Amino acid sequence: MSLQSHDHVERIKHVRRPKKTPAERARRQKAQKKRLVALGVPQAEADKLQPIVIRTMLTRPKQVVKQLAKRAAKAAEAK
């Protein structure tokens, strides 16, 4: 049986991956921003970030916490 004959191969249309809707994307971005704020990023700063930056930061949460601690120590030193 060769793969050239497509008679026996049927495409199952109802099993296709569903499209991502704008509402679902907004919900995901809101949840991601909420997780970033829970890590310690100020809300005002998180609101200014692009969604791709938020996702990148959430891939390495320990690194984000370490950076925030370093920034807080530098701010305390400046006072």
User: pLDDT (tens digit, 0 to 9) for every residue of the chain, 79 residues total?
Assistant: 455 555 556 666 667 777 889 999 999 999 999 999 999 999 999 999 999 999 999 999 999 999 999 999 998 888 7
What's the confidence (pLDDT) of residue 42?
A: 94
- CA–CA distance, 14 with 31 (Å, rounded to integer): 29
Give the structural domain span for 67. 19-78
Q: Which residue type occupies 39? A: L
Number of structural domains in the chain: 1
What string of H, E and C letters represents the secondary structure of 14-52?
Answer: HHCCCCCCHHHHHHHHHHHHHHHHHHCCCHHHHHHCCHH
Q: Does residue 4 sit within a domain?
A: no
Q: Does residue 11 sit within a domain?
A: no
Nearest to 49 by CA among 69, 65, 29: 29
Q: Does residue 2 sit within a domain?
A: no
